[in-house]
Amino acid sequence: MAAAQRDVGEPIWQASSPYPGPFEDPRSWWQGLISLCQPIPAELRKRVGAIAIDGTSGTLLLCRPNGSLLPGELGLALPYHLACSEQAAAAQVLAQGGPNPASTAAASASGSLARALRLVQQAASMHPALHPAHGLLLRHQADWLMGQLLGHWRCGEATNNLRLGWLQGESQGWAGAIGLQRWSPALPQIIACGSVAGPLAGAAAASLGLPASAAVVAGCTDSSAAVLAADAGPGDGITVLGTTLVLKQWSERPIAAAGVSSQQLGDRWLVGGASNAGGGVLRRWFDDQQLEQLSRQIDPARPSGLALRPLPGVGERFPVDDPTLEPVLEPRPVSDALYLQALLEGLAAIEAAGWQRLQHLGMPPLRRVISLGGGARNPQWRALRQRLLSVPVLNRPQLSAALGTARLAAGALHPSADD
């Protein structure tokens, strides 16, 4: 999704488009961005002053120094939901050892560090000459796309690299011994969220139809961008009901725990976690029309009596960090509406457990929950969640991650600029 935003006020344009190819193929990311920019009105297009990109936290790939992809399977990204259990022990040793030990989201099978170790191992075994020590780069989705905009792939944005082992705040640097490995040159130069990374490269400006005078601004992860769009206050929890279920809350200090991320944005910390479960698992059985029709048949005041755990596969990141956790998708009742209700109840239970875990770790009690993402269009799901969470739940589906990222880009421009 893409959005255009002035320095203040409502968005002036938004559009959405599906990935034109498999999610793991970075070429579909770039083609998707081109497709998103094509419908920008001509009058608005020439006034774009800055562009920023958000991306899925943890989706990682190896590429050459010029951003080009490696041959075959090595050219595909490892997605955010993939747990690399065989690398979990090594990731933990790297993140928590060495001269800068730290307990981070990287010390886990579900972190980017474990995926990086798998990519490095695959490259070394399949193409020894392609070892990252020989010039390859490890880049997350948003950082690879930012490289396309800049015309170079040297940089990485801070929040997108937390799961790879980057430490924000006073400890700024790579956790543990991560920065001392033979493959460490593959790591990006980290820049802060919302900072100007450089000018839009001429080739990118031509491909996207944007002014070459536009600045490229470092974005953030997609879930953090959604929180920026919501403009959450004290006591507000943000739940992003997208393909996955993401919980975020503002804090004055970071929280260190397995499966929990703490992202520094300005002088505040955005603390939360992302489950592997979410609206994506519903697509296994229902399309948009079926979801809408069946949801109308749900009575949120009458529990289904089923206890499902709607994970898309084996493994979970949050509220528990367990790569062996099994989904529970049966029994399936005859009624499709009842089955959908049970799945939504299962997702609500995961959300409730997530908020409970964050409060147990020291986050303030919830005053209300603001719901974003496609699932925020479902009033029955909202009622199920409100009954379980025991706080007001507000649906705000119009507040997209793209809008939050547009606000980051607008904020990087001079305050006196009109657009």
Tens of pLDDT, residue by residue over 296-325, are: 999 999 999 999 999 999 999 899 989 899
Q: Does the pLDDT at position 142 exceed 60?
A: yes
pLDDT (tens digit per residue) in 120-131: 999 888 766 656
**124 phi-psi bin (left φ>0, alpha ψ -120 to 50, beta other):** alpha
pLDDT at site 419:
40
- The set of residues, in sequence order, having a beta carbon less than 8 Å from that of 261 and lying 6+ positions away, is 57, 105, 162, 163, 271, 272, 273, 274
pTM of the model: 0.81
Q: Does the pLDDT at position 225 exceed 50?
A: yes
Taking residues 339-360, report their average pLDDT.
97
**Which residue intervals of the chain bear CATH 3.30.420.40?**
2-220, 232-399
Q: Tell me the C-alpha distance between 411 and 407, whole Å.
A: 6
At the fourth CATH level, the homologous superfamily of domain 2-220 is ATPase, nucleotide binding domain (3.30.420.40)
Please answer whether residues 205 and 335 qualify as being in contact, where contact means their C-beta atoms are separated by less than 8 angstroms: no
pLDDT (tens digit per residue) in 362-374: 998 999 999 998 8
Topology (CATH level 3) of domain 232-399:
Nucleotidyltransferase; domain 5 (3.30.420)
